[in-house]
Amino acid sequence: MEQAPPDLERQWQPAPLEPLGHTDAGLQAAVGEEAEGSRDEVPGDGTEHALGLGVLMTENNFGLKKIEISVSEAEKRTGRNAMNMQETYTAYLIETRSVEHTDGQSVLTDSLWRRYSEFELLRNYLLVYYPHIVVPPLPEKRAEFVWHKLSADNMDPDFVERRRIGLENFLLRVASHPILCRDKIFYLFLTQEGNWKETVNETGFQLKADSRLKALNATFRVKNPDKRFTELKHYSDELQSVISHLLRVRARVADRLYGVYKVHGNYGRVFSEWSAIEKEMGDGLQSAGHHMDVYASSIDDILEDEEHYADQLKEYLFYAEALRAVCRKHELMQYDLEMAAQDLASKKQQCEELATGTVRTFSLKGMTTKLFGQETPEQREARIKVLEEQINEGEQQLKSKNLEGREFVKNAWADIERFKEQKNHDLKEALISYAVMQISMCKKGIQVWTNAKECFSKM
Amino acid sequence: MSGGPPKGLPSTGPHSLLDMPHPLAGSSSEEAVGGDSTPSPDLLMARSFGDKDLILPNGGTPAGTSSPASSSSLLNRLQLDDDIDGETRDLFVTVDDPKKHVCTMETYITYRITTKSTRVEFDLPEYSVRRRYQDFDWLRNKLEESQPTHLIPPLPEKFVVKGVVDRFSEEFVETRRKALDKFLKRITDHPVLSFNEHFNVFLTAKDLNAYKRQGMALLSRVGESVKHVTGGYKLRSRPLEFAAIGDYLDTFALKLGTIDRIAQRIIKEEIEYLVELREYGPVYSTWSALEGELAEPLEGVSACIGNCSTALEELTDDMTEDFLPVLREYILYSDSMKSVLKKRDQVQAEYEAKLEAVALRKEDRPKVPADVEKCQDRMECFNADLKADMERWQSNKRQDFRQLLMGMADKNIQYYEKCLMAWESIIPLLQEKPEANGSPLVFIPWWSL
């Protein structure tokens, strides 16, 4: 199983000095001054991505231009599927704007509609051609970790809205990745509406994909994988498990919190009714009841904001799978290497035995020789020659496999470092914004109850 | 007609309803309790607000849970009463120091009752006795018997309905103590009831049981006259103000019942929320153990959620112990008030019947027989007592609920303030920059390629 070599057709430029580490400073500088709401520079993060900016190859091949990508609309469509049956799906409008370097103005350059399956196709393609990259994940296909208010229906407007944001996020991640942003298929995804699917399929990437079975086999049988990848694999398993757990419990917490707030709405009604039979107490009760209604309805916005936090966690949940994919690729390559080395060693031994006449290893030829008589020296010579050729070839292959393997490890690990920085930065930001949400919720609560208390004091 | 002549205070004896000002009417400086404080009938709503009207988020029915506890505003009430009555208090009663007694036949709790008074009815300036719940129950029955024209405050429930609650748990005992304290203080505040002889004995006697046994043999003379009014008389027309009171109490009890259910439901939801929070926080800790740079922030979030959980638990405990019981007390109060109203109706009915009987007899019209006059007196006294007590009750109720609801708001504010503090304190932790560990790779800008 060989790694597809960088294809000049797919990438605009060979980039021998590719910055394999952080996306950071250069991109940062490129978008820096024009960025609104400047954030602290953290190297190797997706800051530019968070600002909605990325880079793309210019048409004239002379370097990268700054772009803005947005998935601005979602539309329900009906069409016919592969089996000529009517189906309903959602299409998303992708708009690409080129940002002028000097004045920061943006100009709409491309605008087309894509559906989720096309995004999936793009990603699968990227997975095959960039196995050493932690490829950004797509938003979930079906709504999971729902709490009772959220619909699990794919057509539900809230789900579609959140998916729209998730898809935009995906594109921005790709566009701000130093290597992925250069990919031609990605470029075409943003610019060529018709015929794109055919173009992707023509690359034949599906054929190049490693079979799942092969990968599984390699995982079990590999003897000497790079320790770092083994550790990384464990980490991604644990990360996936803990984030899943977190999302599940958070959904339950949201459910309960919703219940607490909503029941308070009943106070509004009963205070109002009670106030009708009271003289002095009436006004205070009535206005307090109003505040209880405000309190009860405040939870909807609060929980909607929290969904955004859940989505940020989900992205990293899915990123764990992308990490694992890179580890799997390494194991596959390593296993392949080990098998090749093993094969070469056995051939060498065979050759040696033939040359010296000692039989230490079992071979069919040896057996038949024993059974049917000795072979002629000419026959033996011929066999040795064949073997020597094979050994030569094998040594070449082993050398190149070794080289490939080391290249892979180096490149992959560089991207993993970049990813780690990005992850730490993003998750910190997510936690901060979660804390800010909680603070806002507490302040609202204090406000409402203080108002209610004042009303009660006037009873 | 009240049991025992109240000394030192104007008598609520036989005067015309119209020209006798109640000693306490118009004496309040803060509340405008003057004139007719009962609402007109057209303001009353007879709508019921049953369980099915309760709007619940998950479409479920509210579960009933027993609610012990009582108000925590007694200290305030004590001081405010001074202002309301406009007179110096000369009787102070406190319930405290619950103790468990284990005997062969039973186990029970007694409470210490401390009395301080300058009143002449008390031989000593200070008393300290021990009483158990059944003594309070006895007292209340005696008061109802001997002061049938007055509203007697309620006792906390005798039996613990749900077997889950432990009769000897600290929370239950404390809750009950507060309620018993409130009960005695309400009597103490009452210008007529506080002079009742049974009340006096309750506060002072070393051996209450002996007095109880003695009391069984005698029937209170006063109570007799009212008790022996049978239900045989039909009421012609209830005076507007008493009809209004009745309607008011009906709706009031209904609304309180609904509030009680809502409050219970909220506590239930909060407890379930708490259960989830207690699982939620630790997951961040588990995650923290996997990470390097994120370890501290995640651990911080975990601790923060833990603090919020504790704050929530305090809130639910407070609401259970302090809020719910007061609601239930007032529901009981209105129930007992309704039965007093019924008795009043009976007295009026008897009077009217007798009057009618006289009218039918062809005797000397102008001279009204003595026993009819007595009936009229009885009715008028009853009306006056009840009216005065209602006003006093309304005023106290307003105060009690103001404090109760403000207390509820306060507890919620405190809960949110605790959570706010927790979250605000971890923001700096989350924003901390990590120490530089290793130099980033050398970068070559692409556009220069």
Per-residue HEC secondary structure of B289-328 comes to CCCCCCHHHHHHHHHHHHHHHHHHHHHHHHHHHHHHHHHH
Task: Indicate the range of A223-237, B62-76, B337-351, B419-433 predicted with least confidence.
Answer: B62-76
CB contact (8 A) between residue A178 and residue B446:
yes
CB contact (8 A) between residue B259 and residue A442:
no
With 50 as the cut, is the pLDDT of residue B40 above it? no
Chain B residue numbers touching A414 (CB-CB < 8 A): 441
Q: How many CA atoms lie within 13 A of A417 on its CB side?
A: 17
Q: What average pLDDT score do residues A57-62 get?
A: 50
The answer for B106, left when phi > 0, alpha when psi is -120 to 50, beta otherwise, is beta
d(CA A419, CA A44): 8
Rounded to a whole number of angstroms, the distance from the CA of A233 to the nearest CA of chain B is 12
- Mutating which of B73, B416, B418 best tests the A interface, going by the most A Cβ atoms within 10 A? B416
Could you give the 3-state DSSP secondary structure of residue B440? Answer: coil
CB contacts < 8 A (A, B) = 207
End-to-end CA distance of chain A: 81
Chain B residue numbers touching A64 (CB-CB < 8 A): 446-447
CB contact (8 A) between residue B447 and residue A63:
yes
Instruction: Determine the pLDDT at residue A37.
Output: 33
Nearest CB to B440 within list A22, A278, A432:
A22
Chain B residue numbers touching A453 (CB-CB < 8 A): 406, 409-410, 413
- Mutating which of B278, B441, B444, B448 best tests the A interface, going by the most A Cβ atoms within 10 A? B441
CB contact (8 A) between residue B32 and residue A280:
yes
Instruction: Determine the pLDDT at residue B213.
Output: 77
Chain B residue numbers touching A267 (CB-CB < 8 A): 259, 262
Rounded to a whole number of angstroms, the distance from the CA of A397 to the nearest CA of chain B is 31
Scanning the structure block, which residue is given the tokens 């009218």?
B359
Instruction: Determine the pLDDT at residue A180.
Output: 92
Could you give the 3-state DSSP secondary structure of residue B97? Answer: strand
Chain B residue numbers touching A449 (CB-CB < 8 A): 409, 412-413, 416
CB contact (8 A) between residue A452 and residue B287:
no
Q: What average pLDDT score do residues A324-353 get?
A: 91
Instruction: Determine the pLDDT at residue B70.
Output: 40
Chain B residue numbers touching A15 (CB-CB < 8 A): 446, 449
Task: Indicate the range of A64-68, B15-19, B143-147 predicted with least confidence.
Answer: B15-19
Nearest CB to A446 within list B265, B417, B423:
B417
Q: What average pLDDT score do residues B218-236 get?
A: 55
Cβ atoms B147, B3 nearer than 8 A: yes
Instruction: Give me the amino acid identity at A23.
Output: T
Cβ atoms A99, A67 nearer than 8 A: yes
- Mutating which of B270, B273, B284 best tests the A interface, going by the most A Cβ atoms within 10 A? B273
Instruction: Determine the pLDDT at residue A332.
Output: 93
Instruction: Determine the pLDDT at residue B36.
Output: 40
CB contact (8 A) between residue B440 and residue A44:
yes
CB contact (8 A) between residue B405 and residue A288:
yes
Instruction: Determine the pLDDT at residue A54.
Output: 63
CB contact (8 A) between residue A26 and residue B444:
yes
Rounded to a whole number of angstroms, the distance from the CA of B261 to the nearest CA of chain A is 10
CB contact (8 A) between residue A450 and residue B444:
no
Instruction: Determine the pLDDT at residue A323.
Output: 95
CB contact (8 A) between residue A260 and residue B269:
yes
Instruction: Determine the pLDDT at residue B121.
Output: 86
Chain B residue numbers touching A253 (CB-CB < 8 A): 273, 276-277, 280
d(CA B279, CA B273): 10
d(CA B201, CA B3): 14
CB contact (8 A) between residue B44 and residue A277:
yes
Q: By CA distance, what is B299's nearest residue in A?
A: A431
Residues 6+ apart with CB under 8 A from A137: A123, A170, A315, A318, A319, A321, A322
With 80 as the cut, is the pLDDT of residue B425 above it? yes
What is the share, in percent, of chain A residues with pLDDT greater than 70?
A: 80
CB contact (8 A) between residue B279 and residue A262:
no
d(CA B97, CA B202): 17
Could you give the 3-state DSSP secondary structure of residue B419? Answer: helix
Cβ atoms A290, A93 nearer than 8 A: no
Chain B residue numbers touching A279 (CB-CB < 8 A): 37, 39
Rounded to a whole number of angstroms, the distance from the CA of A97 to the nearest CA of chain B is 19
Instruction: Determine the pLDDT at residue A129.
Output: 93
Q: What is the pTM of this model?
A: 0.77
Q: What ipTM goes with this model? A: 0.82
**DSSP string for residues in B320-381:** IIIIHHHHHHHHHHHHHHHHHHHHHHHHHHHHHHHHHHHHHS-S-SSSPPHHHHHHHHHHHH
d(CA B285, CA B428): 19
In sequence order, the β-bridge partners of residue B100 are: B109
With 60 as the cut, is the pLDDT of residue A145 above it? yes
Show contacts of A318-321: CB within 8 Å, 24+ apart: A318/A137, A318/A138, A318/A140, A319/A134, A319/A136, A319/A137, A319/A419, A319/A423, A320/A236, A320/A237, A320/A239, A320/A240, A320/A243, A321/A137, A321/A236, A321/A240
CB contact (8 A) between residue A259 and residue B416:
no
Nearest CB to B426 within list A260, A273, A435:
A435
pLDDT digits (tens, 9 = 90+) for B410-422: 999 999 999 999 9
What are the CA-CA distances from residue A84 to residues A80, A81, B18, B226, B276 (Å)? 5, 5, 93, 91, 47
Q: By CA distance, what is B250's nearest residue in A?
A: A277
Instruction: Determine the pLDDT at residue A291.
Output: 96
Closest CA to B327 of B70, B52, B48: B70
A70 versus B219: which is more confidently predicted? A70
Task: Indicate the range of A49-53, A122-126, A163-167 predicted with least confidence.
Answer: A49-53
Could you give the 3-state DSSP secondary structure of residue B7? Answer: coil
Cβ atoms A382, A354 nearer than 8 A: no
> Following CA atoms A120, A125, A128, A132 in sequence, which dihedral angle do they give, to the nearest 10 degrees?
-80
CB contact (8 A) between residue B440 and residue A239:
no
In sequence order, the β-bridge partners of residue A112 are: A94
Cβ atoms B101, B107 nearer than 8 A: yes
A64 versus A118: which is more confidently predicted? A118
Domains of chain B (ranges plus CATH)? 234-431 (1.20.1270.60)
CB contact (8 A) between residue A453 and residue B54:
no
pLDDT range class, residue A20, cuts 50, 70, 90: very low
Nearest CB to B57 within list A259, A278, A450:
A259
Instruction: Determine the pLDDT at residue B434.
Output: 64
Rounded to a whole number of angstroms, the distance from the CA of A262 to the nearest CA of chain B is 6
Residues 6+ apart with CB under 8 A from B163: none
CB contact (8 A) between residue A457 and residue B304:
no
d(CA A400, CA A392): 13
Q: What average pLDDT score do residues B234-255 get?
A: 87
With 50 as the cut, is the pLDDT of residue B97 above it? yes
Closest CA to A130 of A174, A92, A189: A174
Scanning the structure block, which residue is given the tokens 């009026």?
B348
Show contacts of A67-70: CB within 8 Å, 24+ apart: A67/A96, A67/A97, A67/A98, A67/A99, A67/A109, A67/A175, A68/A96, A68/A97, A68/A98, A68/A99, A68/A106, A69/A94, A69/A95, A69/A96, A69/A97, A69/A168, A69/A171, A69/A172, A69/A175, A69/A190, A70/A94, A70/A95, A70/A97, A70/A168
Chain A residue numbers touching B410 (CB-CB < 8 A): 453
d(CA B90, CA B118): 6
CB contact (8 A) between residue B259 and residue A265:
no
Chain A residue numbers touching B276 (CB-CB < 8 A): 249, 252-253, 255-256
CB contact (8 A) between residue A256 and residue B276:
yes
Rounded to a whole number of angstroms, the distance from the CA of B431 to the nearest CA of chain A is 7
Instruction: Determine the pLDDT at residue B237.
Output: 78
CB contact (8 A) between residue A267 and residue B251:
no
What are the CA-CA distances from residue A197 to residues A79, A120, A192, A378, B71 (Å)? 17, 11, 10, 57, 72
pLDDT digits (tens, 9 = 90+) for A199-217: 998 888 888 888 888 888 8
d(CA B315, CA B306): 14
| Structure tokens that stand for B197 in this block | 């002889």
Nearest CB to A279 within list B37, B251, B412:
B37
Task: Indicate the range of A330-339, A392-401, B223-232 predicted with least confidence.
Answer: B223-232
With 70 as the cut, is the pLDDT of residue B255 above it? yes
d(CA B14, CA B154): 28
pLDDT range class, residue B162, cuts 50, 70, 90: low
CB contact (8 A) between residue A260 and residue B445:
no
Q: What's the DSSP call for residue B205?
A: -
Rounded to a whole number of angstroms, the distance from the CA of B33 to the nearest CA of chain A is 9
- Mutating which of A323, A449, A450, A458 best tests the B interface, going by the most B Cβ atoms within 10 A? A449
pLDDT range class, residue A363, cuts 50, 70, 90: low
Q: What average pLDDT score do residues A440-448 get?
A: 97
The helix or strand, by DSSP H or E, that contains position A316, with its residue range, turns out to be helix A282-356
d(CA B68, CA A418): 59
pLDDT range class, residue A362, cuts 50, 70, 90: low
Closest CA to A264 of B372, B364, B265: B265
Residues 6+ apart with CB under 8 A from A67: A53, A54, A55, A56, A96, A97, A98, A99, A109, A175
Chain B residue numbers touching A148 (CB-CB < 8 A): 58
Distance of CA B15 to the CA centre of its chain: 33
Pairing mode, if any, of strands A64-80 and A53-57? antiparallel
Residues 6+ apart with CB under 8 A from B280: A246, A249, A250, A253, B305
d(CA A320, CA A308): 19
pLDDT digits (tens, 9 = 90+) for A296-332: 999 999 998 999 999 999 999 999 999 999 999 999 9
A43 versus B211: which is more confidently predicted? B211
| Structure tokens that stand for A387 in this block | 């073997």
- Mutating which of B423, B425, B426 best tests the A interface, going by the most A Cβ atoms within 10 A? B423
Instruction: Determine the pLDDT at residue B156.
Output: 87
Instruction: Determine the pLDDT at residue A449.
Output: 97
